[in-house]
Amino acid sequence: MARVPRRKVTVIGAGNVGATTAQQIIETGLADVVLVDIVEGLPQGKALDLAEAAPVIGYDVRIVGTNDYADTADSKIIVVTSGIPRKPGMSRDDLIATNATIVGGVVKAAAAVSPDAIIIVVTNPLDAMCHVAMRASGFPKERVIGMAGVLDSARFRSFIADELEVSVRDVRAFVLGGHGDTMVPLPRYSTVGGVPITELLSPERIEQLVDRTRNGGAEVVALLKTGSAFYAPAASVVEMVESILRDRRRVLPCAAYLDGEYGVRGLFCGVPVVLGNGGIERVIEISLTPDERAAFDKSAEAVRELVEHLPA
């Protein structure tokens, strides 16, 4: 009896984010993984190390390291982490020219051999890189997705749980807008055990948590000094991968290409979406107060300015 091939996830970039993403995918047994990088030996070495951990941890999926995109053929999901990371004092926007060139090249190569794949973009500045990925792949909007909203919401949830001394499992939160200083955490839609945090914390303390969430990535960069966050970004990617591969139809905040939703057209921006086997099944529009709407519009405009500065 012929074996049914397992699903394959390609992770482009074998740095901290990419290698940790690959590790978490295989440890959860979601799919076989192909880890790709331009540096010879790097993905092969990390893949071998992870494969040798399998007997101890107990996963049976396979991981392969390669420099050849032919090995990534017929992937269900392509995760793009390649690019230069932020350093102290740099904004995500400072990365735009270099990373646009990198992302465009790797996405074009991967999409050519996996034309039906779903792309998850992690590289910063994330919302702008989604535009690069969609242009380079030629994929429809529902199959190009940015990771940021899951990460930003996770940071907000972590800070809320720590502040209230409760389990993170009972905390739900939404962060909309671009993945940057103008992101829009929504306290009204953020709850602990179903209770809005506006009932549990003072407006002043909520604003402090919101501000920390907006600067969550920079806080990690400042502490590390030689790199940027990778554990939480990887975990955020894996949550999205799981929802797609198992067709969970989870409602997750992701960077999606908007075509009139929220009054925005032709732009990737963080919004709640239903994430299933086909990628983005639909965008969920929630009601916003005038202040929330103004903040969202400001964030979308900041993303649009970045996109206008992308290389032609």
Cβ–Cβ under 8 Å, residues 266 and 56: no
Q: Is 268 helix (H, G, I), strand (E, B) or coil?
A: strand
Contact 37, 18 (CB under 8 A): yes
131: annotated active-site residue: no
Report residue 90 CA to chain centroid gap. 20
Which of 100, 179, 220, 272 is the catalytic position? 179
- Write the CA distances from 64 to 10, 102, 186, 251, 299, integer angstroms: 10, 22, 40, 31, 39
Query: What are residue 290's phi and psi, to 5 degrees?
Result: -55, -40
Which of 103, 23, 83 shows the shortest CA–CA distance to 57? 23
Instruction: Evaluate whether 115 touches 10 at the Cβ level (below 8 Å).
Output: no
- Contact (Cβ atoms closer than 8 angstroms) between residue 239 and residue 153: no
- Which residues, 6 or more positions from 60, have their beta carbon under 8 angstroms from its beta carbon? 29, 54
Distance (Å, whole) CA 108 – CA 137: 5
DSSP string, 124-143: SSHHHHHHHHHHHH---GGG
- Exposure string for 67-81, b = 16+ CB within 10 A, e = fewer: eebebbeebbbbbbb
Which residues are known catalytic residues? 179
